[in-house]
Amino acid sequence: MYYIKYYKQLKKYNEKLTEYISLVDTLEELFNRTQPGAADYNSDKVQGHSISSTFDNYVIKIENVEKQKAKLKMIIDDRYYVLKQIEKDLRESKDEYDRIYVLYFLDKYSYRKISKIVHYSKSQIGNIVDKIMKNLLKL
């Protein structure tokens, strides 16, 4: 049953993709902090000379996030490659559950179209889809 293997790999891929998106959001937030803001003329602010500036700290944080982002991008690319290989195997599989999984979840066919392809009734297709969903929810 390749569809279970595919689903597990898809979950791993989506987790890493979510991490990547959160890193991009962090990077955007850090970049926005480095941009000049509006001037505040209501109060006098006297700043002393500090050894480290906040801009330097933000640049260091941005560099660290960029490194993490590059590593995560490599992992995502590898996971995507594995996911496509499993999808290829899934599409070539002769198992009825795998075929129905591909037709219903990946190709987004209706019960009626699937029943014409695999020569099952619509209710049988519905029962099989329910079994597939129960198997996937157990994971």
Kindly tell me the burial class for residue 51, based on how many C-beta atoms sit within 10 Å of its own C-beta (0-12, 13-18, 19 or more). exposed
Q: Which amino acid is at 45?
A: K
For 63, the token pair is: 């560099």
Asked if residues 20 and 69 have their Cβ atoms less than 8 Å apart, the reply is: yes
Task: Domain ranges for the chain, please list them.
Answer: 1-34+55-93, 95-139
Backbone angles phi, psi at 86, to 5 degrees: -65, -40
Question: Which pLDDT tens digit goes with each residue over 71-119?
Answer: 999 999 999 999 999 999 999 999 999 999 999 999 999 999 999 999 9
0.85 surpassed by pTM: no
Alpha-carbon distance 42 to 121, whole Å? 75
For 72, the token pair is: 């995560």
Question: Which pLDDT tens digit goes with each residue over 18-61?
Answer: 999 999 999 888 888 777 766 666 766 656 555 566 777 888 88
Please report, to the nearest 10 degrees, the dihedral formed by the alpha carbons of residues 36, 41, 42, 45 taken in order. 70
